[in-house]
Amino acid sequence: MGVVNVTPDSFSDGGAFDEPADAIAHGRRLAAEGAGILDVGGESTRPGAAPVPAEEELHRVLPVVEGLAQTVRVSIDTMKLAVAEAALDAGATYVNDVTAFRHDPDIAGLVADRGADCCLMHMLGEPRTMQRDPRYTDVVTEVKAFLAARLEFAVAAGVPEERVQLDPGIGFGKTLEHNLELLRRLDELTDLGRPIVIGTSRKSFLGRITGRDVAERVPATIATCVMALERGARVFRVHDVAEVADALKVTAATLRRDG
């Protein structure tokens, strides 16, 4: 899953693809590098990010969704019903909701009605507050219980279980130790029976470990994706598609030989 941010304030590439033509060209490059899904987002969810009005989010994402959906599968990264609906109208077939349908529960019914796929993610609080002293008794157990409950909610709203993917929300209301514990015990989340999505790309906890700036965290991202694949993850949301895709191909080939 290649990241296509059309935001001025995303932590990694904010402002890099403000113009729709630039974002579309970037998305097509990511698809050529091996992305099976392009995740288009118009509202930053970095720690402390301010909300974006639906009208502005629509203005940012719709031209990009329309431009990419003709040639590659598109996901809309949003928590707003109006944006999700318009993006699906424009050709998206996947809704990536970092609130797991909590911000706008009606998105679940929309996904069900349209036969779309979706990703439900764990986040503690909201982007503005999620990194203010996050605490868990057992982060893996609590994240797993949350994802199980949100899966149950989606299915009850009519979304077929096979249409749902689950994301533990690395970096969303978690400390460095929480993130590492989730990666270490990721196989426990596969018990939920749905594909696990991992989004570690260029994140700040990797910078804390390596001392690298955001654009220099590709090797660290690769390390987390390889470990996640070994532990059962199946979808990898990344900025640097070619590098991660190659690493995952080699890892998958090796694991098949071992198995």
pLDDT average, residue stretch 130-139: 85
pLDDT at 173: 92
pLDDT above 90 for 8: no
pLDDT at 182: 98
For residue range 240-254, list pLDDT tens digits in order: 999 999 999 999 999
* Residue 70 token pair: 């003709």
Q: Cα separation of 31 and 1, whole Å?
A: 9
The catalytic residues are 203, 237
* Residue 222 token pair: 């690769």
* Residue 181 token pair: 């514990």
For residue range 159-195, list pLDDT tens digits in order: 999 999 999 999 999 999 999 999 999 999 999 999 9
Domains of the chain: 2-258 (3.20.20.20)
As a whole-number percent, the residues of the chain with pLDDT over 90 amount to 85
pLDDT at 131: 75
The identity of residue 119, as a single letter, is C
In the numeric block, the tokens 């700040």 are attached to 204
Confirm if 11 and 214 have CB atoms less than 8 A apart. Answer: yes
Name the band, by pLDDT with cuts 50, 70 and 90, for residue 258. low
Q: 164 or 126, which is more confident?
A: 164
Name the band, by pLDDT with cuts 50, 70 and 90, for residue 7. confident
Average pLDDT, the chain: 93
Task: Count other Cβ atoms within 10 Å, centred on residue 222.
Answer: 21
For residue range 34-82, list pLDDT tens digits in order: 999 999 999 988 777 778 999 999 999 999 999 999 999 999 999 999 9
pLDDT at 67: 97
pLDDT above 50 for 14: no
For residue range 19-33, list pLDDT tens digits in order: 899 999 999 999 999
